[in-house]
Amino acid sequence: MTPPTIIPQETPQAFLGVARSATGRLWRDRLDARGAAQALAIVQRHQLPEMLARVLAGRGVDLDAVDDFLDPTIRKLMPDPFTVTQMEAAAKRISDAVMRGEKIAIFGDYDVDGATSSALLAWHLRHCGLDPLIHIPDRIFEGYGPNVEAVKALAAKGAKLLITVDCGTTSIEALAEAKRLGMSVVVIDHHQCGDELPVVDALVNPNRPDDLSGLGHLAAVGLVFVTLVAVNRELRGRGFWSGERPEPDLLGMLHHVALGTVADVASLTGLNRAFVAKGLLALRRRDHVGHTALMDVSRLNGPPEAWHLGFMLGPRINAGGRIGRADLGVRLLLEGDVSEAARIAAELDRLNTERRVIEQAAEAQAEAEALASLGLEDKGAVIVTAAEGWHPGVVGLVAARLKEKFSRPAFAIALEPGGIGTGSGRSISGVDLGKAVRQAVTDGLLMKGGGHAMAAGITLRKEQLAAFRAYIEAALANDVAQSRNVRELFVDGAVSARAVTPELVATLNRAGPFGAGNPEPVIALPSHQLVYADEVGQAHLRLRFKAGDGAIVNGIAFRSVGQLLGNALKENRGQVLHVAGSLTVDRWQGAERVQLRVIDVAVPDAGPAMIR
């Protein structure tokens, strides 16, 4: 019997007639009439395949910008660094330290963006003949950003200049202590600013209110790259570079920038696209000891793509900051010895495996609590789960899983024995979580809290948990209801299994790299029979679809077992379905085959399914 939740109702605007899919979504053509005309114009002027033209038009690429979009270059997209507020002051102060041979301390964040930012800056300073101190704070014992004790320790080691990367914008007290101890301070950060800014020598942050550079989408590592372009230019003007000390090749270090940018889910638009596109080429050369060790331990087959950075390489760097030694990622990225790099990479891989076990246990407990709170009626706008014994390093991951499963904002909070809870929240489109959290701090419900629209971090007292739960439910109820009422899947085009070839994947990938801000193309297979569906790995489903002419497409539905998608696939074995997903090349034991990463399915109505 066909589940009623995946029987669509015919509506004019529904792609392939899918008004309600297995996951409750309306399928929409990404192109309206104007977009379709734009795609046709791209085909005619640039002689591109129709599907690629549809993808470009669906991402708003102008007719005159097609060539630059298909080949984004840093040379064309790099602005004058001095357009960033206080960049000139930062470049001059860093250059002064280089010329004088001062001791510099780098204070980074414990995530991938912080690790790559710290490694890139340290590599450059070493090239300049300096030996910088590097401090990555412990997530549990120190928390995020500079703290007074760490600043004192760095000053005691002789640091004259403190450079914070991927942190520092809100560290008023700690950076005031640095100044009191006689240190100069340069902040290179991209996080949202509060009303009060730290008193430092230079605060380089394109998201500060008085910055007009338009570079607020950069990850911290991208901002460090721009800063080092400015430093190179300043040192060039001072005659620092010579035959004995040539100017460092920043373009040769784009591995760091690509990894940090993708892992921090920065928008892959403008300069970020160029950073990632060229950084992926650098990774494919396998000429960097640390990155090569990381790719090998991740068992990455074939040339790296953007999603590998986000789902394979990034989590291993992050594992050090989540449950191990926070500085392991930076050490790997700065390591020049192949054997030592392999050892560090293996340790990060082990920690990542351990992290998954810890995360899965907390996730199961949090999911049970969420189901109990929502009840049979599925009531409630926001999920707030909390428990003692959860590792603070995985609560963000648990919150993300809850958000995905229940399609509403979710918090996971680790309660410590002293009655203090540390948690993370993740939101859905159209619901500003950071704003609500900041208001909760103002209202006294939280000890600390901050973030942006899609993610937030909080610290609260256990006795305030119920009050916070009631507050966040009331504050977000309307926005959540509106967001969940309109659930859409935008489809770039439809093909039959016969057309799903490595050549098609290569054609679509010309519009990459894909990620936040440049979504991966979603391709539909109309009326294909599900001839095979079986569980594999950790809650995945391996699939096979057959077209009417007998052509076969292999598929995989990640983390779908027990979810709406997985249930629909299992219940419709042998049936004809409309299928939507993204195409990738699966490499196994030297063989290549195209695979569809399935994200949604629907039962066709009685009418013919038209391929657009």
SS3 140: coil
Number of CB atoms found within 10 A of residue 481's CB: 12
Instruction: Give the residue from 549, 552, 563, 551 showing the smallest Cα distance to 601.
Output: 563
pLDDT tens, position by position, 470-521: 999 999 999 999 888 778 999 999 999 999 999 999 999 999 999 988 999 9
CA 300/CA 304 separation, integer angstroms: 7
Query: What integer pLDDT is reported at residue 184 of this predicted model?
Result: 98
Determine contact, residues 442/431, Cβ cutoff 8 Å.
no
The reported pLDDT for the residue numbered 159 is: 98
Q: Strand locations in 547-575, DSSP E? A: 552-557
Q: For 259-278, how does the pLDDT look when each residue is reduced to its tens digit (9 = 90+)?
A: 999 998 899 999 999 999 99
Looking at residues 174-180, what average pLDDT do you find? 97
In angstroms, the CA 20 to CA 40 distance is 29
Write out the DSSP string of 237-288.
Answer: HTT---SSSPPP-GGGGHHHHHHHHHHTT---STHHHHHHHHHHHHHHHT--
Q: What is the pLDDT of residues 533-558, one digit of tens each?
A: 999 988 899 999 999 999 999 999 99
Confirm if 524 and 16 have CB atoms less than 8 A apart: yes
Question: Hey, what are 425's tokens?
Answer: 């929240």
Q: What is the pLDDT, as a whole number, of residue 589?
A: 67
Residue-level pLDDT at 8: 44
CA angle centred on 236, ends 199 and 211, rounded to 5°: 35
pLDDT above 60 (res 10): no
Distance between CA 539 and CA 82 in Å, rounded? Answer: 50
Displacement of CA 50 from its chain's centroid (Å)? 30
Residue 42 has pLDDT above 70, yes or no: yes
Output the DSSP codes for 534-547.
Answer: EEETTTEEEEEEE-
Copy the structure tokens of residue 193. Answer: 């600013």
pLDDT tens track for 383-392: 999 999 999 8
What pLDDT was estimated at residue 412? 96
Q: Count CA atoms within 13 Å of residue 55 on its CB side.
A: 25
* Least confident residue range of 84-93, 219-228, 373-382: 373-382
Domains belonging to the chain, first-starting first, are 4-58+492-602 (2.40.50.460), 76-349 (3.90.1640.30), 380-488 (3.10.310.30)
Phi (first) and psi of residue 358, to 5 degrees: -65, -45
pLDDT tens by residue, 182-206: 999 999 999 888 778 999 999 999 9
Q: Say how far apart CA 96 and CA 559 lie, in whole Å.
A: 52
Query: Could you report the per-residue pLDDT of 116-145, keeping only the tens digit for each?
Result: 999 999 999 999 999 999 999 998 888 888
**Judging by beta carbons within 10 Å of its beta carbon (0-12, 13-18, 19+), is residue 491 exposed, middle or buried?**
buried
Confidence of residue 561 (pLDDT cuts 50, 70, 90): very high
Q: Do the strands 540-546 and 523-536 form a parallel or antiparallel pair, or are they unpaired?
A: antiparallel
- Start-end of H helices in 129-270: 148-156, 172-180, 220-237, 254-263
Mean pLDDT of 41-50: 97
Look at residue 3 and tell me whether its pLDDT is greater than 50: no
Mean pLDDT of the chain: 92
CA dist list (Å): 2 to 8, 239, 489, 544, 600: 11, 75, 21, 19, 16
d(CA 202, CA 213): 16
Which pLDDT value is given to residue 606? 52
pLDDT above 90: residue 414:
yes
560 phi, psi to nearest 5 deg: -100, -15
- Specify the higher pLDDT residue, 12 or 543: 543
Which residues, 6 or more positions from 467, have their beta carbon under 8 angstroms from its beta carbon?
Answer: 445
Do 21 and 8 contact (CB within 8 A), yes or no?
A: yes
pLDDT of residue 592: 80
Which region among 72-76, 348-352, 405-409, 603-607 has the lowest average model confidence (pLDDT)? Answer: 603-607
Average pLDDT over residues 106-113: 95
Mean pLDDT of 235-243: 93
pLDDT digits (tens, 9 = 90+) for 574-591: 999 999 999 998 877 677
Which residue's entry shows tokens 């114009």? Answer: 41
